[in-house]
Amino acid sequence: MMERAEIVELTRAHLGRGRAALAEFVHAPVEVASHGAIVETADGRSFIDCGGYAVFLLGHCPEPVVNAVVEQVRTHPLATRLLLEPRVAEAARALASIAPEGLDAVQFLNSGAEATELGLKIARAHGKSRLITMLGGYHGKTTGALAVTPKAEYQQRFQPLLPATAVPFGDLAALEAELIAADGDAAVILEPIQGEGGVVLPPAGYLAGVQRLCRTHEAMLIVDEIQTGLGRTGTMWAHQPEIDRPDVLLVGKALSGGVVPVSAVLATAEAFRPFADDPTLHSSTFGGSPLASAAVVATVRALVDGDVAARAAELGERMLAEVTAMCARHVGRTVRAVRGRGLLIAIEFLRPDLAGELVTDLLARGVIVNHSLGAGSVVRLSPPAVLTEDQERTVLSALDLSLSALLSHV
């Protein structure tokens, strides 16, 4: 195996100086193996992964998913695209079976941003040319997705992008004003809980109001559950029960089982009609491969059989209570607020540098957490549902020590 210094130099030479600098800043070790909630490094250490940007809901290398993928690799990993392929049909049936009623059309892709791109194309195929997104929202960094990710630092070098209007998340009056101006030509895209925006929860009744306004003004509603869906927030879908059925639903991250990159777009038959009639309107060489489809089937089965949403609700409620109590001593000194739902928990700090120091300090104590890309003062905990009680105690103990250590910096 290469030495760490060589990996850093190769990263700097080929993958980017910024990426290498970040690794050096956090003193990142070299990850070589993973299982459950654990990531192992080349120097013999083990880390509890409460990061992963919400991918590892089932933990690392969940056995049913790995077994399904290994078997598929041995038999038929990629498809001809001309002959009938049973695995993708089985995966579509599995995903539709847990989707909101009426979302029966499925197309598989490879990443969350790709799912956003198709969602926007569906809207435009129906003449919905006015895109309305939410301030603080995050939907990816490909060109179309970037248009509805209203963060100037991400957008400014790539203008002009698709025209889009951003309104405050939680503000129904602002949304209604834009829908009236659009006069039936709008598509609204939002996350039910803003993930990269800092785990921002919607006000009670807000999502129901969004659905009502979209139906009143004939706007297409695209709900992005790439980070929140499939049980992470304690229910299968974070938009329910307030939204009974969006026109388009974006899914990803945990859909992979943490093993194979895959995402999906689900839609009503009417929304998907142009693409159902002409599959050449949106295609992907690797989207919906037998390999990814095998992972989807095994993942959906594991989510349902293990009642992962209920587990996420129980574990998340307990951890949120513990983190809230722990941070209460630091509110006004280093911490601004704690919030979350299920296994998506945020600690918001008074300054971005404090959030960065917590990430680094926790890493030194053997716990991996993530910044929120759209909110520099927010650290997110997104542990897997397979986190054991001992691991939970270790994470909370490390967090307590790290929070106390931050006091020396204020």
Give the domain 307-409 fold: Aspartate Aminotransferase, domain 1 (3.90.1150)
Amino acid at 221: L
Instruction: Band the pLDDT of 258: cuts 50, 70, 90.
Output: very high
CA dist 333 and 146 (Å) reads 35
Question: Percent of the chain scored above 70 by pLDDT?
Answer: 100
Cα–Cα distance measured from residue 394 to residue 242, given in angstroms and rounded to the nearest whole number: 36
Average pLDDT on 365-391 reads 97
pLDDT band at 131 (very low <50, low <70, confident <90, very high): very high
Q: Which CATH architecture has domain 63-306?
A: 3-Layer(aba) Sandwich (3.40)
Which pair of structure tokens corresponds to residue 190? 């939002």
Q: Which pLDDT band, with edges at 50, 70 and 90, does 230 fall under? A: very high
- Tell whether the model's pLDDT for residue 409 goes beyond 80: no
* DSSP state, residue 239: T
What was the pLDDT predicted at 14? 98
Question: Can you state the angle between helices 269-277 and 112-125, rounded to 10 degrees?
Answer: 90
Peptide bond into 241 cis (omega under 30): yes
- The predicted-structure confidence for 49-77, as pLDDT tens digits, reads as follows 999 999 999 999 999 999 999 999 999 99
- Compute how many other C-beta atoms are within 10 angstroms of the C-beta atom of residue 45: 11
Please determine, for residue 273, whether its predicted confidence score (pLDDT) is greater than 80: yes
Q: How far apart are CA 131 and CA 165, in angstroms?
A: 6
Q: Which residues pair with 133 in a beta bridge?
A: 166
Report how far residue 148's alpha carbon sits from residue 406's, in angstroms, rounded to the nearest whole number: 35
pLDDT band of residue 410 (cuts 50, 70, 90) is: confident
Whole-angstrom Cα distance, residue 200 to residue 191?
Answer: 10
Alpha carbons 246 and 223: distance in angstroms, whole number:
6
> How far is Cα 223 from Cα 107, in angstroms, rounded to an integer?
15
270 Cβ contact list (under 8 Å, min separation 6): 247
Distance CA 125, CA 15 (A): 36
Same fold, 63-306 and 307-409: no
Q: Domain residues of the chain, as ranges?
A: 63-306, 307-409
pTM comes to 0.97
